[in-house]
Copies of this chain bind each other. A is one copy, B any other.
């Protein structure tokens, strides 16, 4: 099923209790239901927006287990299993597979900068440990590792189950290069919200976005307009939602999406410290943006 992942891939947040200490799994269930009911084509738990990096192993396991059980195959799932050590990423990948994930996503997070050989070996070791497809994820801003298109394609060629690429550098020319050097055979996904239109135009198979928590109808309509070859409509829809896409990028996804969920009736707590929640000014700006769109 996972090779058919396409369209709008919605990212879940991870709700916490008011003091930030405990998980709020019922709220997570509500947010998942909202994504599915709004038409998201797939769901990605525990990604950057899901604060996967800020969870203890025990919490991570709980969120993975709950998310997959709650989604229950209603849409395909891509679980982010990234961690700093290869061993920990493998443990998470195996657990995600066992729990029924259709695919896993791997971002090569680094403390010590990684060589190309180290990155390749990281993917190979994870790939060899599981049977489900891997979505390779390139996002140097959060991971500290920038994979060139050439390296990405080398990994795709070398590790059999790396079959999808998520690109979040914000440089549209990377997608051109994936399309050209990959000879149109390597499905790539856009992870940079303000490039939503250009990425689809460049040939992206899907848009990985947390915006689907707030404005799913607009996200879907943009995708459909591109599918319908209606550039004018796609452009209009893009510019309509761009202010919100810019806002959530600049404000930080966990802070802004959590604030937006609260503003739309689903309180999910704040991000874990040191990351701040959205302040009062920000919430008012977000409310104004949402008022125009939904």
Contact = CB atoms under 8 A, between A and B. Distances in A.
A252 B202 CA distance: 24
Given A173-B170, A176-B194, A114 B229 contact: no
Contacts of A243: 180
A53 B201 contact: no
Contact of A85 (B54, B117, B122, B173): B54
Contact of A231 (B86, B113, B176, B229): B229
Nearest to A230: B229
Interface string A131-155: 0000000000110100000000000
Nearest to A228: B231
A62 to B, nearest CB: 16
A119 B198 contact: no
A125 interface: yes
Contact of A172 (B110, B142, B172, B271): B172
Contacts of A195: 172-173
A144 B141 CA distance: 8
Interface stretch (A97-105, A232-240, A283-291): A232-240
Where chain A touches its partner, the secondary structure class is: helix
A261 interface: no
**Residue among A144, A231, A234 with max Cβ neighbours from chain B (10 Å):** A231
A52 to B, nearest CB: 9
A53 B230 contact: no
Contact of A274 (B122, B141, B231, B234): B122
Interface of A: 20-21, 48, 53-54, 56-57, 84-87, 108-115, 117-119, 121-122, 125, 141-142, 144, 170, 172-173, 176, 179-180, 194-195, 197-198, 201-203, 226, 229-232, 234-235, 239, 242-243, 252-254, 271-276
